[in-house]
Amino acid sequence: MVVLASLALTAADATRAQSSRPEVTEEFHQTYPLNADGRVSLTNINGDVRVAAWDRNEIKVDAVKRAYTQERLREAKINVEAGPSSVNIETEYPNYNWSRDDYERHENPASVEYTLTVPRGARLEDISLVNGALTIEGIAGSVHASSVNGRVVARGLTGTVNLSVVNGRLEATLDRLNDSGTVSLASVNGPLVVTIPSDSNATLRASTIHGQISNDFNLPVREGEYVGRDLEGRLGQGGARVRLGNVNGSITIRRANDNRPLSPAVNLLSETRSREDYGDDDAREAARDARNAEREAAREVREAAREAERERHDAQTEAENERQEAEREKAEAKAEAEREKLEAREEAARERAEADRERQREITEAQREAGRAAREAAKAEKDAL
């Protein structure tokens, strides 16, 4: 069984420990112009995503960030690149330390839950989740989406569809199959269920390595000699291609409850095909697709960790530069204060010396004046005789 332990959220005991703590939240609400067939992509590491359709040429982005601390909340950044032909949304954690030890990891990164409302004919070019459930409803354009850890549910789709999940249930309801369209659904660990119109014109191929295959169109399922099960058939006139693959999980093909007549089905399994080949096509391709999604998610997390490390290094360098600058300013201020103190002492000494000289001049002058007075008195006395 394939799991993504390094990316999944922390263990249940940490979750229980946090459940008693109040959450802090922050909301994001923006609307952007988007062509009727504009492209939409979204990458989210932690949090559920819902995509719905409306009849407007604009995309509405509603998001709620959740965390147990303001610090974790601030670490989650919602980046939107919007233009009339495409909108790209990405959740980034530039300051989150993905290398924290197990104890610190109890402080999970913030989750971001998105609700996107897009033009009905929009093309979901790449909706990529790591930890979170994905729901898509009413999209007429092409859909390409995946989740590593979390269920994927799609309803009311009418265009080309490519959905994959590594760990979780995959369920798709297709309202219409285009004759030239392709539907590709892949799972690694979890059941896969697809519902198509009763009167579909399509070719079906389904393969699983470890799991059952069942269908409402009376097509036979062939078992491999050792492992694997296989189904291949044509419904009605053929046309749309439906490819289903699973590794560790069942595949269920259902007819819609639409009161339409059931398409005649023709078994296309080749009797000459080696039974050892069962499960080697669609199921292995599904595994490759899902594991590619897993590796891409791991790459994004590693890149986020590297970016966070670069941000921390830059912040540390800037802080060190600021500290050194502060030390220099402090030293200069101290030196300036010492200079001013010395100058003040020197000025005071000069003023004291000047005062002493002034007093000495006054004393000398007084003495001279007293001498003159004495002489004048003596002269006056002599003249009187």
Strands, E, within 229-305: which ranges?
Answer: 229-235, 240-248, 251-255, 265-267
What is the rounded distance in angstroms from the CA atom of residue 165 to the CA atom of residue 280? 19
Query: What pLDDT score was predicted for residue 277?
Result: 47
What is the rounded distance in angstroms from the CA atom of residue 225 to the CA atom of residue 306? 47
3-state class of 368 per DSSP?
A: helix
Query: What pLDDT score was predicted for residue 364?
Result: 85
Question: For the CA atoms of the chain, what is the radius of gyration?
Answer: 41
Query: What pLDDT score was predicted for residue 345?
Result: 86
Residue 58 CA from chain centroid, whole number: 23
**What one-letter code names the amino acid at 201?**
N
Stated as kind and residue range, the H or E segment containing 42 is: strand 39-46
Query: What pLDDT score was predicted for residue 316?
Result: 73
What is the rounded distance in angstroms from the CA atom of residue 252 to the CA atom of residue 158? 19
Contact (Cβ atoms closer than 8 angstroms) between residue 286 and residue 186: yes
Q: Which residues contact residue 2 at a Cβ distance below 8 angstroms, ignoring those fewer than 6 apart?
A: 166, 167, 188, 189, 247, 248, 287, 290, 291, 294
DSSP-assigned letters across all residues of 22-36: PPEEEEEEEEEE--T
pTM greater than the 0.85 cutoff: no
Q: Could you tell me how many helices (H) and strands (E) the chain has, helices first?
A: 3, 22
What is the rounded distance in angstroms from the CA atom of residue 65 to the CA atom of residue 72? 10
Contact (Cβ atoms closer than 8 angstroms) between residue 260 and residue 201: no
Query: What pLDDT score was predicted for residue 102?
Result: 40
What is the rounded distance in angstroms from the CA atom of residue 277 to the CA atom of residue 283? 11
Query: What pLDDT score was predicted for residue 105?
Result: 47
Q: What is the pLDDT tens value at each position of the chain, 385 positions in all?
A: 433 433 444 433 444 444 556 889 999 999 999 999 999 999 999 999 999 999 999 999 999 999 999 998 998 999 999 999 999 999 998 766 655 554 354 467 899 999 999 999 999 999 999 999 999 999 999 999 999 999 999 999 999 999 999 999 999 999 999 888 899 999 999 999 999 999 999 999 999 999 999 999 999 999 887 778 999 999 999 999 999 999 999 999 999 999 999 999 999 987 544 444 444 455 566 666 666 666 666 666 566 556 656 666 676 777 788 888 888 888 888 888 888 888 888 888 888 888 888 888 888 888 888 888 888 888 888 887 7
Query: What pLDDT score was predicted for residue 4?
Result: 42
